[in-house]
Structure 1
Amino acid sequence: MRVTVIGFWGAYPAAEGATSCYLFEQDDFRLLVDCGSGGMSRLQKYIDPFQLDAVLISHYHQDHIADVGVLQYAWLVQNTLQDTNKKLSIYGHPFDTAKFNSLSHQYTEGKAYDPSETLSIGPFTVKFQETNHPVPCYGMAVSNGKHQVVYTADTSFSEAWIPFAEGADLLITDTNFYKGMDGTGPGHMTSEEAGALANKARVRELLLSHLPHFGEHDQLIKEAKERYEGLVSLAEEGWTWESQ
């Protein structure tokens, strides 16, 4: 399994960047997890978006879905140019009817997942964890049967994440605030909380993502390492993790 960071900013993309967007690959199957603002532009540096096999959405805030519409147009154009009739499955939760319905377009099909059940997408199985966020949002554990990557999506800290992330090979955390700040209102974690979660869940590696637009990002690593002794990385476009 290979995971590539396409977008990692919180709220809005910095120049030449993108918000939440991650590419999961296994056995030539390509799953895009979230499709935030700028994601389509940056994704094309790594793969042809028309070669995606599925998309999985954590929730319907714009920094996670803004480029879904752009992706839909791309599939419309390429199906027309190539005289094909391919349809892309976009998985989302059904708890916002209008937003879920928007996942369906001429060449995309919205498919509702039940967060209480395990979802199979190609070679991956996905389990869900409800997050602490102002709208319904689901983090996920993506497994290829041997290795597991946990993505918190947007959430403030909760003890429930510890058993959910237990032993993960890679933990990708929402790290939108620095040590000593309070992210409970907007529903985001601090660097210190990300490190504490990684430590308590005994994960093998920690990636700090959904990064803030203020402060020095290197400080996030230092603060996370105060609570976690394993490998800590800062998300950047093109950052890649691959199971061994």
Structure 2
Amino acid sequence: MNIIPLGIWGGYPKANSATSSFLIEEGGFRLLFDCGSGVLSSLQNHIHIQQLDAVIVTHYHHDHIADIGALQYAKLIQNQLADEKKTLPIYAHNREDSFQTLTFKDHTKAVDITQTNQIGPFAIQTIKTNHPVYCLAVRIEANGKSVVLTADTGWEPALIDFSEKADLLISEANLYMQYEGQIPGHMTGRQAGLLAKEADVEQLLLTHLPHFGEAEDLVKEAQRHFSKNVSLAQPGKSYPFV
């Protein structure tokens, strides 16, 4: 399994960047995790649009779906140019009307992720997070390796068992410690580190970062609890697990 951060920001992208999203690869299968602002542009630094095999959308806030419309138009154009059309499945929960908009003619198709346990080579599990809207954390496993992506969430004890012994925990860290408990639906670096420790994961990667302050302080906060490898996600860097 290989994981490439495409963007790391929460809310909106900084200049020439993208909101939190990841390209996950295994055996030639390519899965996009969330598709917010700037993601489609970043994705094309790594693969062609038609090489994308599936998309997961964790919830319907704009910083996680803003580029879905652009992706659908890209599929329309690429299918017109291709000898053989390819329908792109977009996996998401169906608790909002936005689920229906994920289907666009025969170019993209909405699929209920809560009724899915396999996407290509990946075994999939989901759990509801602590967020103002219905949002799903996702555990992805392939070839004996596992990664948990928290998506957007405040502190949620159920994530400890859900993340247990993952090879990689990709956790949101949208807040600094001084804001802990003041802004609903998001965690601090300290809480991400505590989750990593309690779940006994091997590595912690921080994403969905704030637009102010020194982001490296989030790493220091996480290290208060988690003594293994912790770092900020780096867009474009490959994180292989073999």
1:184 CA drift (Å): 6.0
- Indicate the residue corresponding to 2:31 in structure 1: 31
Residues matched between the structures, number: 241
Q: Once the two structures are superposed, what CA deviation does each residue of 1:26-56 show, in whole Å capped at 9, x if it has no partner?
A: 0000011111100001111111121101101
Find the partner of 2:147 among 146, 149, 173. Answer: 149
Q: Is the 8 A contact 1:171 1:206 kept in 2?
A: yes
- Indicate the residue corresponding to 1:62 in structure 2: 62
- Indicate the residue corresponding to 2:168 in structure 1: 170
Letter matched to residue 101 of structure 1 = Q
Q: Distance in 1 between matches of 2:33 and 2:73?
A: 18
1:233 CA drift (Å): 1.1
Letter matched to residue 225 of structure 2 = R
SS across alignment from 2:34: strand
Q: Distance in 1 between matches of 2:84 and 2:49?
A: 15
Q: Distance in 1 between matches of 2:182 and 2:201?
A: 23
Q: Distance in 2 between matches of 1:118 and 1:41?
A: 28
- Indicate the residue corresponding to 1:100 in structure 2: 99
Q: Distance in 2 between matches of 1:60 and 1:181?
A: 24
1:190-229 pair list within 5 angstroms: 190-229=188-227
Using the size of structure 2 for normalisation, the TM-score is 0.96
Cα distance 1:96–1:217, how it changes in 2: closer, same or farther (>3 A)? Answer: same
Matched, 1:12 2:12: yes
Cα distance 1:72–1:145, how it changes in 2: closer, same or farther (>3 A)? Answer: same
Q: Distance in 1 between matches of 2:167 and 2:104?
A: 35
1:183 CA drift (Å): 4.7
Q: Distance in 1 between matches of 2:129 and 2:11?
A: 17
SS across alignment from 2:130: coil
Q: Is the 8 A contact 2:49 2:78 kept in 1?
A: no
Q: Is the 8 A contact 1:156 1:184 kept in 2?
A: no
- Indicate the residue corresponding to 2:45 in structure 1: 45
Q: Once the two structures are superposed, what CA deviation does each residue of 1:187-235 show, in whole Å capped at 9, x if it has no partner?
A: 0000000011101111000001000001001111111111110000101
SS across alignment from 1:180: helix
Q: Distance in 1 between matches of 2:70 and 2:181?
A: 31
Letter matched to residue 102 of structure 1 = T
1:8 CA drift (Å): 1.1
Q: Is the 8 A contact 2:206 2:233 kept in 1?
A: yes
Letter matched to residue 161 of structure 1 = L
Q: Is the 8 A contact 1:119 1:127 kept in 2?
A: yes
Letter matched to residue 226 of structure 1 = R
Query: Identity over the aligned pairs, expressed in percent?
Result: 48
Q: Distance in 2 between matches of 1:83 and 1:123?
A: 26
Cα distance 1:183–1:64, how it changes in 2: closer, same or farther (>3 A)? Answer: farther
- Indicate the residue corresponding to 2:179 in structure 1: 181
SS across alignment from 2:190: helix
Q: Is the 8 A contact 1:118 1:128 kept in 2?
A: no
Query: Could you list the runs of 5+ residues in structure 1 that have no partner in the other structure?
Result: none
1:113 CA drift (Å): 2.0
Letter matched to residue 100 of structure 2 = N
Q: Distance in 1 between matches of 2:120 and 2:48?
A: 18
1:182 CA drift (Å): 2.3
Q: Distance in 2 between matches of 1:183 and 1:234?
A: 22
- Indicate the residue corresponding to 2:85 in structure 1: 85
Letter matched to residue 194 of structure 2 = A
SS across alignment from 1:37: coil
